[in-house]
Structure 1
Amino acid sequence: MADKRFFAKSGSYSIADLAERVGGELMNCPAPDTVIEDVASVEEAAGSDICFVENRRYVAALGSSKAGVCLLPRNIADRAPEAMPLIVSERPRRAFAKIAALFYPQEDHRTGVDQSAHVDPSAELGDGCFVGPGATIGAGAKIGAGVKICANACVGEAVVIGDGTVIGENASVSHALIGARVVIYPGARVGTCGFGFEVDESGLVKMPQLGRAIIEDDVEIGANSCVDRGSGPDTVIGRATMIDNLVQIGHNVQIGKGCIICGQAGIAGSARIGNYVVLAGQVGVGGHLEIGDGVQVAAMSGVSNSIAPGQKVGGMPTVPINDFRRQIAAVKALGRRKSDQENK
C-alpha cells in the first residue's frame, strides 16, 4: 500500500466507476456502488481495496485475498473467492495501472523561481514554471509552460524545452531540443559530449561533437542515464520511448518511437533502432548497426550484427531466441554429463 507520507491520494471511487474507467466487465458484484478506498497487492488488500491478478502464478494468493474487488482475466475468474466482486479485463495489469494513477495522480503544482536558482536574463520561461533551489538556466534557453526544473538541475545555453517537461534533481541538459511532457530523472545527462576519437601512432585527436540531442514528446530518461549529443548528425530519441536507469546512448544514435530500453543497456554510436524495440537489461548494441521495428533482445545479450524487423534474439553474439534457448539447454546438459562422470 502507498505510504501517505510520500503519495497523496485523490479520493475514493465506486466499483462501477472503476470498471467503467478501464472498460472492464463486472462479475459477482451485487453492490456496484460499493466504495473502494485504495489500491493494494493481492496479498495485502483489505475489504476496501482493489487489487489485480494477471496470471495463474498468483491464483493461490487470490484464493485467500481479502480485497474488496479484483481486476483479473476471464480465464482465472473462477478461482476468486465466491463473495469477491470482480472486474474482468483482457489486460488487468494495464487497467490496474490506470486505476492506481487515478488514486495517486503524479501532480506537481509548484510554481515560481527559487531565490537560490540562477536564470540568465535572456532565458525565456513559460507560464507556470518551477525552478528549484540551486538550479541554473543558461543564456537563450527557451522553457515551455508548466516545466519543472528541480533542485540543482542545469539547463544549458540555448536549450529548448517543451511544455510540461520535468528535469529532475541534479540532471543536466545541454545542446538539446526537448519535447513536451518529457521526464528526465535525477542525475541523468542529456547532450553531453559524444565519445569520438581518431587515433594513430602520432597520437589521439578528439572529434568535435557538433550535433544535438533531440528528445521527442513523452519520452522518459531514467536516473543516471546518459544521452550523448551527435557528432554532426543528431542523436534522436523517438516519441514515447522509455529509457530505464543507468543506460548509455552514444552519439548519433537514432531510436524510434515507443521503445523500451532497460537498465544498464548500452547503445554504441550511430546505431539505428526502429520503433517499438525492446532491449532488456544489460544489452549491448554495437555501433553503426540497424535494429528493425518490433525487435526484442533478451537480457545480457550482445548485438554485433543488424537485426531484421520482428525478430526475437538472445545470446552473445545474438542468435534467434529459440537457438539461444537450445544453446543454454546444451550447455546445461553438458554440465550434467560432466558432473555425472566425476561422481562415478
Structure 2
Amino acid sequence: MIDARFHMSQPPMALGELAERAGARLYRGDPASLISTIKPLDLADSGSLSFFENPRYAAQLRQSKASACLLHESAVPHAPEAMALLLTERPRRSFARLARVLHPPRITVPGQHPSAVVDAAAKVDPGAEIGPLVHIAAGAEIADGVRIDAGAVVGAGVVIGADSVIGANAVVEFCLIGARVVIYPGACVGQTGFGFDSDPEGIVKVPHLGRVIIADDVEIGANTTVDRGSAGDTVIGRGTMIDNQVQIGHNCVTGKGCIIVAQAGLAGSARLGDYVVLGGKAGVAGHIAVGDFVQAAGGASITKSVAAGAKVSNVWPATDIGRWRRQVAAFRRLTRKG
C-alpha cells in the first residue's frame, strides 16, 4: 500500500485530466470526479484508480471497488457498471504514467551535508544534493539536479549528468554517466575487470585502462556490478534497465532499451543488440553477439551468437524455444510408443 511516510502524494485530480495525461479515452464516468490514489484491483476502493490488462485477473475486475480503471476496450464487458472506464491500448503503461502523476518521486533538495567530503577540484552544481558521508574525488563533475545519497563514493574524474541519482553506498569510478540515470544502493560501477593471463609460471593481471559509458535514462539495480573496459570501454545503451545483482563484465556493450533481470551475467566483451531481454540467471558467454530484440528465458546459457529476433530457451545450451518445444513433443511421442 502507499504509505505517506515513504511516498509523496499530490492533491486529488479530476478524472478527465488524468485521462488526458495517460493518453486514454474516458469511455464512462464523470470527468470532474476526483481520484486521489492508485491501487490494485483487489485492494481498490472509492477515490482510487486501478488497471486491468492480464485476463487471469478478470474476476478481480468484476468485483473491484475502484472508482476508475484503465483497460482495453475489449475488457469493458467485464467491468462493474458503476466503475468509470479509461480506454487505452496499453493499460499498464498508462497506469505507470498516472502513478507518477499522483505519487511523484522525491525531488532533489539542493545542498551539501556537513559530513560529505568533496575535493576542492571537483565541480558540483549548486542544484545538486550531496548526502551524508558522501565522498567526491578530484575532477568529478556533478550536474544540476543530481542526488547522491548517504555513503556513496564518486571517483576522480567521474561525470554525472543532470537529474541522475546515485544510491546509498554505491561506488562509481572510471565512468561517464548520462542524464536521468539511476544507480541503486550498493551498486559498483567502473571497478577493474576480471582479466588475467595465466600459465604454470603464475598469473599476470591484465590492466583495465578503459571506462564505463552509461547513456541517458539507464537504471542499474542494487548490488549490481559493471566492470570497466580493459582497452576499450564498457557501454550501457540508452534506456537499458538492469535489475539487482547483475554482473556486466569488461568491454561489454548493450544496445538501447535492453532489460537484464536479476542474477544474469555477461562475460567480458559480450555484445547485446537493441531491446534484448535476458531473464533471471541468464548467462552470456564472452566475445559473442546477441541480436536486436532477442528474448532469452530465465536461466538460459548463451554460448553462441544469436540472430536478431530469436527466442531462446533455458535448456543447455540455449536454443530456439520453438525448436526445443518440438523436440520435447517428439520425445513424448516416442516414449508413449514405448
Partners of 1:23 and 1:119 lie apart in 2 by: 44
**Which residue type is aligned with residue 28 of structure 1?**
R
Partners of 2:201 and 2:291 lie apart in 1 by: 39
**Which residue type is aligned with residue 10 of structure 2?**
S
Deviations 1:43-85 (A, max 9, x none): 0111211100102111101111111011111111101112211
Partners of 1:120 and 1:234 lie apart in 2 by: 26
- Could you say which residue in structure 2 is the equivalent of 1:303? 302
- Could you say which residue in structure 2 is the equivalent of 1:317? 317
- Could you say which residue in structure 1 is the equivalent of 2:227? 228
Deviations 1:285-305 (A, max 9, x none): 000000111111111100000
Asked whether 1:65 is paired with 2:40, we answer no
Partners of 2:53 and 2:153 lie apart in 1 by: 41
More deviation in 244-253 or 76-85? 76-85
Structure 1 residues 110-121: aligned runs within 5 Å? 110-121=109-120
Whether the aligned pair in 2 keeps the contact of 1:313 and 1:319 (CA below 8 Å) is yes
Structure 1 residues 257-336: aligned runs within 5 Å? 257-315=256-314, 316-327=316-327
Partners of 2:161 and 2:84 lie apart in 1 by: 43
**Which residue type is aligned with residue 262 of structure 1?**
V
Partners of 1:171 and 1:249 lie apart in 2 by: 16
1:334 Cα deviation (Å)? 8.8
Whether the aligned pair in 2 keeps the contact of 1:28 and 1:83 (CA below 8 Å) is no
The secondary structure found in structure 2 opposite 1:255 is coil
Number of equivalenced pairs: 337
Partners of 2:122 and 2:317 lie apart in 1 by: 48
Would the alpha carbon gap of residues 156 and 330 (structure 1) be closer, same or farther in structure 2, given more than 3 Å must change?
farther
Whether the aligned pair in 2 keeps the contact of 1:213 and 1:229 (CA below 8 Å) is yes
Provide TM-score, normalisation by structure 2. Answer: 0.96
**Which residue type is aligned with residue 27 of structure 1?**
Y
The secondary structure found in structure 2 opposite 1:99 is helix
Whether the aligned pair in 2 keeps the contact of 1:162 and 1:181 (CA below 8 Å) is yes
Partners of 1:153 and 1:333 lie apart in 2 by: 58
- Could you say which residue in structure 1 is the equivalent of 2:81? 82
- Could you say which residue in structure 2 is the equivalent of 1:341? none
**Which residue type is aligned with residue 5 of structure 1?**
R
Would the alpha carbon gap of residues 210 and 14 (structure 1) be closer, same or farther in structure 2, given more than 3 Å must change?
same
Partners of 2:86 and 2:138 lie apart in 1 by: 53
Deviations 1:147-181 (A, max 9, x none): 11110000011111111111100000011111111
1:332 Cα deviation (Å)? 7.6
Would the alpha carbon gap of residues 69 and 211 (structure 1) be closer, same or farther in structure 2, given more than 3 Å must change?
same
1:194 Cα deviation (Å)? 0.3
Partners of 2:327 and 2:23 lie apart in 1 by: 43
The secondary structure found in structure 1 opposite 2:20 is helix
Partners of 2:335 and 2:251 lie apart in 1 by: 43
Would the alpha carbon gap of residues 262 and 332 (structure 1) be closer, same or farther in structure 2, given more than 3 Å must change?
farther
- Could you say which residue in structure 2 is the equivalent of 1:9? 9
- Could you say which residue in structure 2 is the equivalent of 1:156? 155
Partners of 2:334 and 2:130 lie apart in 1 by: 60
Whether the aligned pair in 2 keeps the contact of 1:51 and 1:71 (CA below 8 Å) is yes
Partners of 1:149 and 1:219 lie apart in 2 by: 16
1:123 Cα deviation (Å)? 0.5
Whether the aligned pair in 1 keeps the contact of 2:8 and 2:106 (CA below 8 Å) is no
Indicate the percent of aligned positions where both proteins have the same amino acid.
51
**Which residue type is aligned with residue 15 of structure 1?**
L
Partners of 2:336 and 2:66 lie apart in 1 by: 45
Would the alpha carbon gap of residues 109 and 63 (structure 1) be closer, same or farther in structure 2, given more than 3 Å must change?
same
The secondary structure found in structure 2 opposite 1:177 is strand
Would the alpha carbon gap of residues 151 and 335 (structure 1) be closer, same or farther in structure 2, given more than 3 Å must change?
farther
Deviations 1:12-71 (A, max 9, x none): 111111111112122232x22111111111001112111001021111011111110111
Structure 1 residues 34-113: aligned runs within 5 Å? 34-113=33-112
Would the alpha carbon gap of residues 189 and 334 (structure 1) be closer, same or farther in structure 2, given more than 3 Å must change?
farther
Where in structure 1 are there 5+ consecutive unaligned residues? Answer: 339-344
